[in-house]
Amino acid sequence: MKYRGSRQFEHGQPDRSGVLLVNLGTPDAPTPQAVRRYLAEFLGDPRVVEMPRLLWLPILHGVILNVRPRRSARAYRQIWTDEGSPLLAISRRIASALQSTLEADVPGGMRVELAMRYGRPSIAAGLDALGTAGVRRLLVLPLYPQYSATTSGSIFDAIVEVLKTWRWVPELRTVMSYHDEPSYIAAIAGRVRAHWREQGRGDHLLISFHGLPEQYLHAGDPYHCHCHKTARLIAGALALAPGEWTVTFQSRFGPKSWLKPYTEATLTGLAAAGTKTVDVVCPGFPADCLETLEEISLRGRDHFIRMGGKALRYIPALNDGADHVAMLAALVRRHLQGWPAGADTDVRASTRNLATRAGAPA
């Protein structure tokens, strides 16, 4: 194997710390072709679908990728904006704001890059940009508050696949979850309170997370536990009684049993019980995306009303709000503890001296 070095490398250049901020990803456009490329990468990840490849890949390429892209493209078109994908546009704003916040701490010594696990900008592109910028201490921050092997675990796989080809591998740390981070819980609770001040309090609060096949829970994935702890902490911060809120799981895919209760089925039950107004918050999605803007705010609302409810109000994600950025910056600062903030001048001088004695350009 030929290991990759930096095209712009100079001996003695200052070391920097860097953050790779990673979100799930999005198609490049709301078209069947773009969605097909995205889904092929996403659903082809063995972390996401744990089936033998000889069984799964023919199903994926022979059936799913010939049917689902057209339906998903219609859904994406309903939420697409002038900036493109909401998830990508919001994630870019988060990364930019985080860069500005951290730059104030360490002028010139910190670099933030955004990457998507699937689609663009890729993890490889983000790592290349950080390497070119002289980042030797790398913190990977997945925008997944609750850990799952299907999300944060998959990001770690992708990071390793890239870094194992590098000549100079950086020091590496990864934020695996922040599901019970007090400032994260406070920010979510703050969003709910702001919604209640503006629109009044609904009859019931639904706390909906992305689903996961139930077999992953039994195999030891902590995601289910993380989601329930997040929800309990949010309910506690809002002083909610047990009957005033429910944890549910959305975005079920395929015939197998997923984590329950399902969001859609719960909405059906609430409407049947006479609940007229439901507020929905989705703490597992730091940036609004297809699953919040289309699945919950549009389809979920229509379903609830069709079942007899009066109104479903989706409470927006933290997105690029100041409290969200401040929380992420505090998380980064804590995980960077023990690493030098910027360049080490003594190390640079030693490197130059060694290179000069060896006859190499310093």
DSSP string covering 284-295 = T-SS--IIIIII
CA–CA distance, 346 with 349 (Å, rounded to integer): 5
CA–CA separation, 341 and 321 (whole Å):
26
Per-residue pLDDT of the chain (362 residues; tens, 9 = 90+): 788 876 666 666 778 899 999 999 999 999 999 999 999 999 999 999 999 999 999 999 999 999 999 999 999 999 999 999 999 999 999 999 999 999 888 777 789 999 999 999 999 999 999 998 889 999 999 999 999 999 999 999 999 999 999 999 999 999 999 999 999 999 999 999 999 999 999 999 999 999 999 999 999 999 999 999 999 999 999 999 999 999 999 999 888 899 999 999 999 999 999 999 999 999 999 999 999 999 999 999 999 999 999 999 999 999 999 999 999 999 999 999 988 755 443 333 333 332 343 344 43
Task: Look at the alpha carbons of 30, 325, 230, 267 in this order and tell me if their dihedral is positive or negative.
Answer: negative
In the DSSP assignment, the letter for residue 3 is: P
Q: Please report which residue ranges of the chain form alpha helices under DSSP H.
A: 32-43, 53-59, 65-79, 86-105, 123-132, 152-163, 182-199, 214-218, 223-237, 263-272, 301-306, 322-335, 345-357
Collapse the DSSP code of 315 into the 3-class scheme (helix H, G, I; strand E, B; otherwise coil) and give the result.
strand
Tell me if the pTM is above 0.85. Answer: yes
Vertex 328: Cα angle to 109 and 88 (nearest 5) = 95
Please tell me the CATH code under which domain 182-315 is placed: 3.40.50.1400
Confirm if 88 and 24 have CB atoms less than 8 A apart. Answer: no
Residue 334: what are its φ and ψ, rounded to 5°? -65, -40
- Position 54 scores a pLDDT of 96
For 225, the token pair is 């536990």
Token pair for 303 = 């379903």
Give the C-alpha separation, 304 to 44, whole Å.
33
| Contact of 200 with 167, CB cutoff 8 Å | no
DSSP letter string, 109-132:
TEEEEEEEEESSSBHHHHHHHHHH
Tell me the domain boundaries of the chain: 182-315
Task: State how far the Cα of 32 lies from the Cα of 67, in Å rounded to an integer.
Answer: 10
CB atoms within 10 A of CB 293: 22
User: Are 22 and 116 in contact, with CB atoms under 8 Å apart?
Assistant: yes
Q: Is 195 helix (H, G, I), strand (E, B) or coil?
A: helix
CB-based contact 16:133 (threshold 8 Å): yes
CB 261 within 8 A of CB 249: yes
